[in-house]
Structure 1
Amino acid sequence: MSTMAVEDVALAPVARGFWSRERKVGAGLAAAGIVAAALFGALATGEQARFTLSETAGGAALEINGTVGAILFGIIAALCGLALFVLDTRRWFGTLLGVGIVGLVLSFLCWQVSAAPAGQNFMPLVNIVRGTFLLALPLIFGSLAGVLCERSGVVNVAIEGQLLMGAFSGALFGSITQNVWVGLVAAAVGGAFISLLLAVFAIRYLVDQVVIGIVLNLFALGLTGFLYERLMQTEAQSYNSAPRFGTWAIPVLEDIPVLGPALFRGNIFLYLALILVAVIHLALFRTRWGLRTRSVGEHPTAADTLGVRVLRLRYRNVILGGMVAGIGGASYTLALYTFTKNMIGGKGFIALAAMIFGRWSPTGALLAALFFGFADQLGTYLGAINSVIPSDFLAMLPYLATLLAVAGLVGRVRAPAADGKPYVKG
């Protein structure tokens, strides 16, 4: 072997060690910040970019010159990336990456808002926050369903079908009875029905859990599509005219600037989502049920030897997850829209990504769902101000955010050790 080859072999581990995940992300973030400062700063106008604290252009607002803001926030993102590269530490990774991403977004928004037509060069923060939570609702419910299933050791790829069946059942039975509460219960049952099928095939018959999840999504799509054409499309007044849940305002809290109108002036699904995140988080990490659930998801054999009924716990949690997802589906048809074919449109898969991005934690899943909801709402806002960015690209924003988050930002994450592995009692 030549001397040069020997030197290459000796230096290879050093090179791999130098380019750690932190340094790779830092270099990418620094480059993106420099590009944002240069490009968005050049495209921005000298007009003020106004971020209003109300729902309209009037009232109090945070203002900054569009060009100055685009350059300033781009530089902040670049500095965060440089700090990640130099420090090469996991301790500040999340904080610096978060600040850097916010800097990139603000740099972009300073360009877009300042360059908007006269009368539209403002961003109503109340509407943005409200829209973010509204669009994130099915993702929150869906990701919680995934957490309940996968913490128990069952992969839940069927979130899409559970959301869709919940939306359909809520619309159908809510329309027949003209009662929103009946529709809500029916939605939970519809989601539980898909979950029951998942549990039976995955736990009892040991079918590959990813495959059966995809099959159940197609089953839900076909079943709801067939019934929609036979019932809802032909007799919409009888079968697709469910009443809607109204808005419930919480006194005092609704007067908090920006967050008050967005969080405390919402429908039942918003409050249910936030309550479920808190309840499931506490139950998962502070109760005996949570301890047993996590043990079944990590080491079912050890849990079995300690007296935990592994299969029964998995059945129960999978069905419970389906109920949660079903309620998430009803957030479409009992609060916003009438039912249409395939109205979920891939949100179940984004919810699955939110669960992974949130590292199988209810609070992490909430934050990830809000991240994707914001990407969706941002596309809606940019379309409303006639952005120069093509509308087709804007429609892709939540899916692009999903790809970037899961492929580029999550890094190496560890699912529960027994996730997707059938358990056969010896």
Structure 2
Amino acid sequence: MSAQVTTSENQVVEGIRLPVQWRDPVVAAVMLILTLVIAVMARGESRISFADISGWFEGGIWVISAPIAVWTMTVLSVVGTVIIWLRALARKHINGWWLALVSVALVVSFLVWVVSDRPTAILPVVSLLAGGLMFAVPLGFGALAGIVNERSGVINIAIEGQLLVGAFAGAVVGSAFGSPWMGLIGAPLAGMALGAILAWFAITFRTDNIVVGVVLNMLALGLTSFLFSTMLKNSQHLNQNLKLPILPIPVLSDIPIIGPVVFRQNILVYLMFVVVIVMQFMLFNSRWGLRLRASGEKPQAADTVGINVNRIRWHNVLLGGALAGLGGAFFTVGSGLSFSKDMAAGNGFIALAAMILGRWNPTGALAAALLFGLATNLGGVMQAVGAPIPAEYLLMIPYLVTILAVAGFVGAVRPPAAEGKPYP
């Protein structure tokens, strides 16, 4: 009888007993400990607002017992952590939903504790979730840009710069024409222009992709800062506060919680979901997607069947630049703000983390972008409700969540095999 045995639970591979995978159990245990600490500190009552929960009825303010709510979350966290540990010790596959349960228990416990025992502090659920979705827009478009570029074989570190020039062009073009809709045309064109420079150096001249990306980020920051100081700072015509209108979808916008959060947004949010759905299908179910992935995985094999690898890469770097530029429009016409220096504020690098956390998959990247967007909005909401945490620490929340998510949840990932490698 052959000694080679392979099970679906990954217990034994070719007769070798696999080692225990400690990453998920350790992460779950740390989150459980934090939840327990919060449960010990929870006192009094928490007030949670469900205002605007639906167009059909008013949710009002719910008053709950903070200790009961947090200890309930702690019990769920214990159950999830125990199951994760038992499956890890048995060398079985750990379903990601158990880790998600422990994570949700920690987040809910933290939110309940923040507003506990303070009658004036009210947690606004709808605005927290809706704002998190809005903040996910530049991250989602930036992550999609990274996926298109890296799947075709070009590393794009310049997403930060593309978001920035997209924000700049969105404000200037929109102001020049007096319409935020025109800003949605100027933003992707600006991102595409920066993408063309990236493609020119990285593909045509075979320059190191990372070096070019870093330089383009510095170029975008310096150029937009210079133009802002010389042209926009005192201009009343080229840097107006224009905002895209909210476009509620009939009936769907009245669904409790989901409606006002998802279906009562501006066109940028809807575009993000549409692009994710289309790209998810096209990337894995179309000739375009097959050629794109072949160019990033096995360019030699793609070349042998007549695919022009460098042309594919050029086209997709331009497409990625347009997507990132469109995401940059969120900072100006998407939010109703005029342009200011360094508006991207590191979102391009968080978008790269979302791309990696999503494993170069559009739907996975969207989920990661939503997580980081919620973390970004969480800091602002906590400041608004007067959380007993210094403001400096609240501002660190999105960056800490990014680091912890990539370090604790990603594990070993494999990028496209030929990314960053020039092809003759």
Q: TM-score, normalised by structure 1?
A: 0.90
Q: 1:242 to 1:374 in 2, by over 3 A?
A: closer
Mapped to 1, the partners of 2:201 and 2:207 lie a distance apart of: 6
State whether residues 153 and 420 of structure 1, in contact with CA within 8 Å, keep that contact through their aligned partners in structure 2.
yes
Q: 1:180 to 1:32 in 2, by over 3 A?
A: closer
Q: 1:97 to 1:140 in 2, by over 3 A?
A: same
How far the C-alpha of 1:51 sits from its partner, in A, is: 5.5
How far the C-alpha of 1:242 sits from its partner, in A, is: 5.4
Alignment partner, residue 320 of structure 2: 321
How far the C-alpha of 1:409 sits from its partner, in A, is: 1.1
How far the C-alpha of 1:145 sits from its partner, in A, is: 0.4
Equivalences for residues 98-247 of structure 1 within 5 A: 98-115=100-117, 117-120=118-121, 122-235=122-235, 237-241=236-240, 243-247=242-246
Mapped to 2, the partners of 1:156 and 1:30 lie a distance apart of: 35
Q: 1:168 to 1:55 in 2, by over 3 A?
A: same
Quote the RMSD (CA, aligned, Å): 1.8
Q: How many pairs were matched up?
A: 402
State whether residues 115 and 387 of structure 2, in contact with CA within 8 Å, keep that contact through their aligned partners in structure 1.
no
3-state secondary structure, aligned to 2:48 = strand
Mapped to 1, the partners of 2:220 and 2:95 lie a distance apart of: 41
State whether residues 42 and 67 of structure 2, in contact with CA within 8 Å, keep that contact through their aligned partners in structure 1.
yes
Equivalences for residues 23-422 of structure 1 within 5 A: 23-37=22-36, 39-50=37-48, 52=50, 54=52, 59=59, 64-88=64-88, 91-115=93-117, 117-120=118-121, 122-235=122-235, 237-241=236-240, 243-336=242-335, 337-422=337-422
Mapped to 2, the partners of 1:400 and 1:331 lie a distance apart of: 23
- Of the structure 1 ranges 380-389 and 24-33, higher mean CA displacement relative to structure 2 is found in 24-33
Q: 1:353 to 1:252 in 2, by over 3 A?
A: same
How far the C-alpha of 1:262 sits from its partner, in A, is: 1.5
Q: TM-score, normalised by structure 2?
A: 0.91
How far the C-alpha of 1:104 sits from its partner, in A, is: 1.0
- What CA deviation, in whole Å up to 9, does each residue of 1:32-81 have, x standing for no partner? 313422x212221131453636469x735666420122222123223322
- What CA deviation, in whole Å up to 9, does each residue of 1:129-156 have, x standing for no partner? 1111111110011001001101101001
Mapped to 2, the partners of 1:319 and 1:307 lie a distance apart of: 22
Mapped to 2, the partners of 1:321 and 1:18 lie a distance apart of: 40
Mapped to 1, the partners of 2:182 and 2:111 lie a distance apart of: 43
State whether residues 25 and 81 of structure 1, in contact with CA within 8 Å, keep that contact through their aligned partners in structure 2.
no
Structure 1 segments, 4+ long, off by >6 Å, are none
Mapped to 1, the partners of 2:92 and 2:143 lie a distance apart of: 26
Amino acid at match of 1:32: M
How far the C-alpha of 1:27 sits from its partner, in A, is: 3.2
Amino acid at match of 1:69: A
Amino acid at match of 2:270: Y
3-state secondary structure, aligned to 1:123 = strand
State whether residues 27 and 81 of structure 1, in contact with CA within 8 Å, keep that contact through their aligned partners in structure 2.
no
Amino acid at match of 2:42: A
- Of the structure 1 ranges 203-212 and 243-252, higher mean CA displacement relative to structure 2 is found in 243-252
Alignment partner, residue 9 of structure 1: none
